[in-house]
Amino acid sequence: MKTIIVGGVAGGMSAATRLRRLDESAEIVVYEQGPYVSFANCGLPYFIGGVITDRSQLLLQTPASLGKRFNLDVRVNSRVVSIDPAAKTVTVRNTETGEETLDTYDSLVLSPGAKPRQLDIPGFDRALTLRNVPDADAIADAVNVRDNQNVVILGAGFIGIEVAENLVHAGHAVTIVQSQGQILPQFDPEMVEVFHKHLSNHGVTIILGSHATAITDAGVKLSTGDTIPADVVVSSVGVVPDHILAVEAGLRIGDAGGIWVDEHQRTSDPDIYAVGDAAEKTSIATGDPSMIWLANLANRHGRLVADVIAGESVTARPSIGTGIIGAFGMAAAVTGVTEAQAKRAKLAHSVIHLHPGSHAGYYPGSETLAIKVVFHPTSGRLLGAQAVGKDGADKRVDVIATAIYAGLTIDDLMNLELAYAPQFGSAKDAINQAGYVGNNVRDGRTPTVQWHEVDERREQGAIILDVRTDAENAAGSIPDALLIPVDELRSRMDEIPTDREVIVHCKVGQRGHTATQILRAHGINALNLDGGYLTWNSGTDARSRTTTPTH
């Protein structure tokens, strides 16, 4: 049996090598349109910035090494330009000579990946994009012409920010232009506000709510009418599935815009499979088709396709969508659905925010984390989480991603037994704390108000009660809040109106929880501001962002 694989890297090469392990007699041909069939695409920004100095470290395997170890017929610089499903043939064009050949298959695996989104603006051909090793070479060559160049990056997603960090480290002046009102739109706005400020503090200029309208010799012209000087322009405005082969072959394209596949990664043609960034995934939270651009899913589904072709009975599991980005020593991690995504999908949900330490506070080096968890309000089923901080964001989100996969609830987080020593965590880990907070909310013990609900509640007559200390209040407060420190609350109960809703807040929510319990025990309709002043302040700052550059 002969299997042709279109595209290498994560999905294609996982399918090829796994299939060889399962079937020594199979004929396996891999066509890769570029010069490299197996490379570390997630490492490309770090090569551009000089963190990875040895270019060969990005090149994981070669046609020769794959042929020697796995007996694979790997052909680079070979673009599959058409598929004939009826005849079970592909037409292949050599990208160096232009020569075309016809090849036949029994099974065909499509792993073409995603391609950078193109902007329909004058001069866009001057912008560099980052998809493969030659792209990384081109950007590195452009920025290394001289020191201290003006670099404009279009787009503030994962790749745009990673490139920005690396070019700042390399000594260049970097401006990010983001059409949306926040960086990292994969997150909720209040969660990335601290990351935004962190980037700005490290020299990245960020312009929000504006987009490029032209790229000229003078620089990048914006929708505001301003022009930003630019020696180099890098476009990172997102990707789209590279599914033209599937479209032209008449294969079904799904509702999310990728190649439709069933639970075995089969397309609408039973002898053709699709994996990686060109193929749709199924969201574990909503059950809907979605585009999730992750290398680990490409690897997983490549392996699964090989199993299916070899006759194994396996099916793909729904995808969670777990990712992380780091810049200048701070990380932002996400898994599952955000609050915004839950609202768009009309999913019933509750939300909690907390700001625990990364490890025991008495041990040196503990850093404050911002954590947000989304869960079903009645069943408690975990739907998603986000964490941002300088230490520990990765492992907290990984734990919750595992919990989502296992179908655990917010209550289950209370009972997880996690590794503890003062330099690694707390006896009551941040994950356990999330469980305690979520359990109080789900059971109705501590009703909460979200940061974005405060203004509306005040318009309806609610008052804000700050239960922090005088010094904390003086350093920053919600306007017109009544200040009564929590330790004085019982003796000053007569100062609090009993006929109005009272929104209680402290710094992070813990003292607010205690105060809420005290007030409710005295018959006052009190609610705790979820995540406290830190979350409210981040949220309001994020909401007030304009197109003015942030330095």
Task: List residues with catalytic annotation.
Answer: 506
Phi then psi for residue 177, to 5 deg, are -110, 120
Return phi, psi of residue 343, to 5°. Answer: -65, -45
Residue 113 identity: G
**What Cα–Cα distance (Å) separates residue 340 from each residue in 55, 187, 450?**
40, 8, 13
DSSP string, 287-343: --EE----HHHHHHHHHHHHHHHTT----PPPB---EEEEETTEEEEEEE--HHHHH
Kindly write down the DSSP assignment for every residue of 256-289, as one continuous string.
TSSB---TTSB-SSTTEEE-GGGB-EEBTTT--E
Among 48, 53, 34, 55, CA closest to 232: 48
The Cβ-side half-sphere exposure at 164, using a 13 Å CA radius, reads 31
Q: Are strands 38-39 and 59-61 parallel, antiparallel or unpaired?
A: antiparallel
Residue-by-residue DSSP string for 93-127: EETTT--EEEEE-SEEEE---EEEPPP-STTGGGS
Cβ proximity of 234 and 129 under 8 Å: yes
Buried b (16+ CB within 10 A) or exposed e, 444-465: eebebbbbbebeebbeeebbbb
DSSP readout, 176-189? EEESSSSS-TTS-H
The span from the CA of 25 to the CA of 315, in Å, is: 24
∠ Cα 394 186 8 (to 5°): 80
How many whole angstroms separate alpha carbon 39 and alpha carbon 44? 9
Q: What is the residue whose two structure tokens read 């359990």? A: 439
Q: Count the Cβ atoms, other than its own, within 10 Å of residue 56.
A: 7
Give the sheet arrangement for strand 89-94, strand by strand.
78-84, 89-94, 100-104
Return the percent helix, strand and coil in the chain, to nearest 5.
35, 25, 40
In the chain, the N- to C-terminal Cα span, in Å, equals 60
CA distance 320 to 314: 18
| Residue with token string 């299916």 | 308
Q: Among candidates 156, 138, 143, 130, which has minimal Cα distance to 44?
A: 130
Distance of CA 465 to the CA centre of its chain: 35
The Cα 396–Cα 414 span in angstroms is 13
